[in-house]
Amino acid sequence: MVTTYLFIAATESTFRFGLYDWSYLPSQKDRAKFVSVCTDIPCKNTGAIMDLLLVQLAVFLLDFYFTRTFATGMYTEHEKMNRVIAATEEIASSLSQFDLASAEAILNTASLPDPLDTAFRSILSNLEMYRPYLPDALFAQMH
């Protein structure tokens, strides 16, 4: 729709097919009140259709490109964060129930950021070291 408008405006500015005249006062007497170096306001702009159209179209299309690139990047980051949050929830749930094998399997398949992966692996390692010292009755209640 914007490209259509830009094309029509550039064409009218160059060839004057009457689009600008719709906004003028209806009588010639009222039209004469406008002072200009041209005999017909707005002046015909011969040869500028490509300049107008290309510049305006380039601005519109570049804006569209950059905005779309930004939006696509934001959507990708949003999806990545949702996957990290889901994996973190599963790992935290497994660790809280001392289901260390499940937590390790999730850690091995999930692509977490390095600091988060390191922290979870440290917690997993600590829980594996502490597990022999905990009573078996504790694990029977958890599962």
Helices (H) and strands (E) in the chain, counts: 6, 0
Q: What is the pLDDT of residues 56-111, one digit of tens each?
A: 778 888 999 999 999 999 999 999 999 999 999 999 999 888 888 999 999 999 88
DSSP assignment of 2-53: HHHHHHHHHHHHHH--STGGGGS-SSHHHHTTS--SSSSSSPP-TT-HHHHH
C-alpha atoms less than 13 angstroms from C-alpha of 93 in its C-beta half-sphere: 9
> What is the rounded distance in angstroms from the CA atom of residue 80 to the CA atom of residue 59?
32
Mean pLDDT, the chain, rounded, equals 78
Q: Give the whole-number percent of the chain exceeding pLDDT 70.
A: 68
Who wins on pLDDT, 60 or 142? Answer: 60
pLDDT band at 138 (very low <50, low <70, confident <90, very high): low
Mean predicted confidence (pLDDT) in 118-128: 92
Who wins on pLDDT, 23 or 74? Answer: 74
Q: Which amino acid type is present at position 92?
A: A
**pTM of the predicted model, to two decimals?**
0.55
CB 49 within 8 A of CB 10: yes
Alpha-carbon distance values, 130 to 93, 102, 123 (Å): 18, 17, 10
